[in-house]
Structure 1
């Protein structure tokens, strides 16, 4: 299997530093599937090409796979594994270019964070399209073009004179201006998707790999469902887990052009839990409820916070709570952490006396999923009946949607029933605080635009009863 990656322009000679592979050396790495060799067939002031050659032994692979069988059929040996780009090539990318895949470069951090002129060539890519997609070439384009690549494919016929019909492979060429880490991540995820046949056991750790390597692009990809299903070998429980995690990340901020920044900014999905955790620490909350906890994205951060001694995750869906239990690995937690967390089925819009008297209730990206006429019910159940000492609430800033290129009236997530502007949110928060005996402080989360403000709005409500410290 062969893959070449070319960088053009005046910074091209830096490619070796970004990949952490010296252009003057031929380096070979031993992998479970064979030997991977990195070399540079082209190197000039304006154009540098790195090649990754993966040599596998299909006979040895078959013997390892079927070592307990008495006999092995000839069909087990006849395979395209040594030649067609597959999940094995993705494994080689992850092992050989791991530092570049993670976006790190101590020598040239600004270039590692910048969009670079890149060309990628993979001469033999399996391209059997899913049902409903006309051709392999169309399938490849639908995977790569939404990510910013210009895609060229060539396909040849098999057999003497081409009379066996078209080959189920394409010669793939990608051209674009992207971060090197993003380019490698696209290949890491999409090569196994195109191959649709992983050579290793698909376990739960593959979900984490997929979500991690799909960070920043997979959640919003138009073919996300097919990508997730193929990558995880159609394992239903893993597909559901990955889908839930990606949906939790959907609507996060795309980083500004790295060429204009000294350092790549922290993604919004990481800034939001940090802002919530800062608020919890600030008010000294020890007993905390995460209302609408979903798959447990925020519960994980709160579990690791020593100041939180009791943590309740609440969701209306029992199935979602089961997924949260799996995601958090409750059966593997230390006893002290496990005793700290409880998962309850309940609703933010109905009174539940179990929720009364907590130090803080979190409503993180919840309220915008309610129909407008149910917001009043949430106010009554949370601020009126449960009446915690503090409420931390976040919601999207509709003013900021223009920064994402969303037309007016289009929300960040298809399940959102509304999104408030800063003025609308401030008016609602002040009204609720006044009616239920709270004071409120409004904050922004994420990189603020000069005109549109921050992407996320946060309201910190504090009860003004005498027993609550001002």
Structure 2
């Protein structure tokens, strides 16, 4: 099993051999590492003033791979020992990358931090990768790769047999090396669609970590999560829920590599904007309606003066995830008394949610069918009638700034609608007038002079109480 990565001379990499610093592997040495199922060898077949190529050769021992296991899913008796695992890139290669190039994957290079954040002119080659050319292109192209996926004949002496379910893959692009390695780390097992090890809850964390900055907006995100997590629905749902919090990160275009700009994720800006409003309003009781996996709840509990925090969801699985995320089982009695997680629907009145100071609907309304939204409004602003309501939702005008949405579409497959700034303003005015609330609109995220901010926020206050937010 072979992988080669070539870096050409460029303004960001005056000496191509400097790629050895990023990989923590000296170009003049050959190194070997014991990995699951075999041995990985790293060496440099080409080092010149114009180009540097590093090779990772993975020798897989089929006997060692199955030693200690019972049973086999292969279609014939010797399937455990006679297979394509030593030759075709798979999760075995992904695990080898994680061990051999761990520091590079994590973007660590002490003393050469400027290289970590620089885009390099890269060419990556793998002689045998599972999958058809169309799927390979759909997975790699959205990240900026020029993809050459050439089908491999099943048998050169038997052309009538057609092609094997394999391609010879070459990727060409200008990317950070850490990003390139993380693309391979995630997508090689996805293409193979068979992991050689047990897939558990920790695989969700690995996927989110390796997919940071690209997976949340990938057009084939569902395919990637489904295959990477071995078709386990519960794990896929957990991963998609966490990715949904990141699905609106813009891709920075035109950034000068000599002066890299590390933009804050929009999800963080949105949380900070909501928390700023919370601190200004000084509530003692707060409900995060549609709290998801509880990303905001922990921060709300830290706000001074807040005595009670409620998180609601229609999904029991989401509440379980939130409880795990917040370590509810390890809270003191006093801490647990401040937090309540409720199974509750926005469309139906819930007496447990009355008399609150503040209600938050952060990226919630766009998930509600338009014909059901009036019932939600009546419940929140009429039945619950808190002193203040904070609502955030995407600004659809900003979608043109996302490459994957430039031709249309929503930021998340579960969105039922996305509003322009004018549509959102009209809706907030109508809600305020109908239920006697004053409303203030605020942008969230960097404002574009043509299309505004990526997220829009409305702060509703019962008439006569808006001065609390000053």
More off after superposition, 183-192 vs 443-452: 443-452
Residue 196 of structure 1 corresponds to 193
**SS at 2:286's partner residue?**
strand
Which of 71, 83, 87 is the aligned partner of 2:87?
83
Residue 60 of structure 1 corresponds to 64
Please tell me whether the aligned partners of residues 41 and 49 of structure 1 are also in contact (alpha carbons under 8 angstroms).
Answer: yes
Residue 382 of structure 1 corresponds to 380
Structure 2: which 5+ residue stretches go unaligned? none
Distance 1:250 1:466, change over 3 A: closer
Residue 95 of structure 1 corresponds to 99
Residue 395 of structure 2 corresponds to 397
Residue 38 of structure 2 corresponds to 34
**SS at 1:48's partner residue?**
strand
Matches of 1:466 and 1:441 in 2, distance apart?
Answer: 13
Please tell me whether the aligned partners of residues 121 and 174 of structure 1 are also in contact (alpha carbons under 8 angstroms).
Answer: yes
Matched, 1:442 2:438: no
Which of 137, 144, 147 is the aligned partner of 1:148?
144
Q: What is the deviation of 1:66?
A: 4.2
Give the RMSD, CA atoms, in angstroms.
3.3
Matches of 2:67 and 2:54 in 1, distance apart?
Answer: 32
Q: What is the deviation of 1:289?
A: 0.8
Residue 3 of structure 2 corresponds to 3
Matches of 2:295 and 2:53 in 1, distance apart?
Answer: 40
Matched, 1:119 2:116: no
Matches of 1:216 and 1:425 in 2, distance apart?
Answer: 28
More off after superposition, 46-55 vs 419-428: 419-428
Matches of 1:389 and 1:23 in 2, distance apart?
Answer: 65
Please tell me whether the aligned partners of residues 321 and 343 of structure 1 are also in contact (alpha carbons under 8 angstroms).
Answer: no
Distance 1:122 1:307, change over 3 A: farther
Matches of 2:306 and 2:330 in 1, distance apart?
Answer: 15
Residue 421 of structure 2 corresponds to 422
**SS at 1:77's partner residue?**
coil
Which of 233, 238, 245 is the aligned partner of 1:236?
233
Matches of 1:77 and 1:357 in 2, distance apart?
Answer: 67
Distance 1:99 1:437, change over 3 A: farther
Matches of 2:416 and 2:220 in 1, distance apart?
Answer: 24
Please tell me whether the aligned partners of residues 310 and 339 of structure 2 are also in contact (alpha carbons under 8 angstroms).
Answer: yes
Matches of 1:110 and 1:299 in 2, distance apart?
Answer: 36
Please tell me whether the aligned partners of residues 255 and 264 of structure 1 are also in contact (alpha carbons under 8 angstroms).
Answer: no
- CA offset digits 1:419-443 (Å, max 9, x no partner): 3333444454456456655554433
Please tell me whether the aligned partners of residues 285 and 359 of structure 1 are also in contact (alpha carbons under 8 angstroms).
Answer: yes
Q: TM-score normalized by structure 1?
A: 0.84
Residue 353 of structure 2 corresponds to 355
**SS at 2:206's partner residue?**
helix
Residue 26 of structure 2 corresponds to 22
Please tell me whether the aligned partners of residues 110 and 263 of structure 1 are also in contact (alpha carbons under 8 angstroms).
Answer: no
Q: What is the deviation of 1:231?
A: 1.5
Q: What is the deviation of 1:201?
A: 0.9
Number of residues paired by the alignment? Answer: 455
Matches of 1:209 and 1:175 in 2, distance apart?
Answer: 25
Distance 1:364 1:97, change over 3 A: same
**SS at 2:107's partner residue?**
coil
Matched, 1:137 2:133: yes
Which of 317, 323, 326 is the aligned partner of 1:322?
317
More off after superposition, 359-368 vs 212-221: 212-221
Please tell me whether the aligned partners of residues 387 and 465 of structure 2 are also in contact (alpha carbons under 8 angstroms).
Answer: no
Q: What is the deviation of 1:81?
A: 2.3
**SS at 2:124's partner residue?**
strand
Residue 220 of structure 2 corresponds to 223
